[in-house]
């Protein structure tokens, strides 16, 4: 009689392990909701950079967020750039930096920090 009860319990334990293992594997493929590797705290402000950063966090693939360093004493603005769902993390970082630098060039701005840097990437 004891073996009969142990088999049923062992089967239910194995089934629950299988369910938790497959659920974890499905979540591992998506990066949505992750802040990734944060190199410096993102300066998002309350405008377009805030929207861009929220889009970066919500993106499910390799993405990057680049921004200028913010100095309250000298700089009165924040320039940012993102690349969402790129083929690789390195490609996302390169495109985000290019987008941020293009903003500096477009508006002919100089910053005290010297330019853009990757704030976060995943």
Q: Quick one: 17 and 72 in the same domain?
A: no
Q: What is the DSSP letter of 88?
A: S
Q: Quick one: 19 and 44 in the same domain?
A: no
CB 110 within 8 Å of CB 55: no
Q: Quick one: 72 and 114 in the same domain?
A: yes
Count of Cβ atoms closer than 10 Å to residue 97 Cβ: 18
Provide the pLDDT for residue 50: 92
Kindly tell me if the per-residue pLDDT of 22 is higher than 70.
Answer: no
Number of domains forming the structure of the chain: 2
Highest mean pLDDT among 5-9, 10-14, 33-37: 33-37
Q: Quick one: 106 and 73 in the same domain?
A: yes
Provide the pLDDT for residue 78: 85
**Which pLDDT tens digit goes with each residue over 95-120?**
999 999 999 999 888 877 778 999 99
Kindly tell me if the per-residue pLDDT of 29 is higher than 90.
Answer: no
Provide the pLDDT for residue 114: 76
Q: Quick one: 53 and 113 in the same domain?
A: yes
Residues spanned by the domain of 23? 1-30
CA distance 42 to 83: 15
Q: Quick one: 62 and 117 in the same domain?
A: yes
CA distance 19 to 41: 37
Q: Quick one: 24 and 56 in the same domain?
A: no
49 versus 2: which is more confidently predicted?
49
**Which pLDDT tens digit goes with each residue over 40-84?**
988 777 789 999 999 999 999 999 999 988 766 666 788 899 999
Q: Quick one: 2 and 56 in the same domain?
A: no
Provide the pLDDT for residue 52: 95
């Amino acid at each position: 009689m004891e073996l009969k009860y142990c088999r049923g319990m062992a089967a239910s334990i194995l089934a629950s392990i299988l369910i938790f293992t497959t659920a974890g594997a499905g979540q591992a493929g998506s990066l949505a909701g992750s802040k990734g590797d944060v190199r410096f705290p993102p300066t998002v402000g309350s405008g377009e950079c805030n929207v861009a950063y929220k889009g970066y966090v919500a993106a499910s693939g390799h993405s990057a967020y680049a921004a200028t360093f913010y100095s309250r004493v000298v700089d009165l603005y924040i320039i940012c750039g993102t690349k969402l769902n790129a083929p690789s993390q390195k490609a996302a970082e390169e495109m985000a930096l290019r987008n941020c630098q293009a903003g500096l060039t477009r508006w002919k701005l100089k910053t005290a920090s010297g330019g853009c840097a990757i704030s976060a990437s995943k």
